[in-house]
Amino acid sequence: MRRPRNWAGISAILFATSCALPALRGGDGGLLRGWFTLAYGWFPMYSMIPWSANVLALGAWIFFGFGRHRAARMLGVLAAGVAATTWTLYRPTDILVAYYLWQMSLVALAAAAWLASRRRKSSPARARLEETEEMLAPVGVSPGTPRSA
């Protein structure tokens, strides 16, 4: 599990799963699903500060996609930290499973960016070769294989 793209994929899967599950227990005892907190969490009454971690995560995913791994790592770590402020607004018994999946998705995103930046820093040429091999592996072609006419 050292491939950054695997961790980025895990991050996306965890994030999507967190949207389908209960995230918080409301004041009336009802459950708020992850999609609801994502859609309406930016209202000040629904805890705007922890919700802003979604904006940071979006930026991290965009930077990761464009190969700006250092910026993605910084935003991913910042997003995980901002998301942790949920604990200051809710009782531990009101924080449900989707929150933990959401938090794990942010940590996985930061880990993906960290692995990618570490990989690129160690040997840029080797990192590009490995990325090329990863892209061509499903096709069944390796970079050193001659093409037939």
Residue type for position 20: A
Q: Which is nearest to 33 in space by CA: 18, 22, 44?
A: 22
- Determine the Cα angle at 136 with ends 66 and 139, to 5°: 130
Instruction: Please give the Cα distance from 53 to 60 (Å, whole number).
Output: 10
Instruction: Please give the Cα distance from 109 to 9 (Å, whole number).
Output: 9
pLDDT tens digit at each of 149 positions of the chain: 567 777 888 888 999 999 899 888 777 778 888 898 888 877 766 578 888 899 999 999 999 999 898 999 999 999 999 999 888 888 888 888 999 999 999 999 999 998 888 866 556 666 666 667 666 666 655 555 555 55
Q: Is the pTM of this model over 0.75?
A: no
Q: Domain coordinates of the chain in residue numbers?
A: 4-138
Which residues lie below 8 Å from residue 41, measured CB to CB, with a gap of 6+?
Answer: 47, 48, 50, 51, 54
At 84, list the tokens: 């942790």
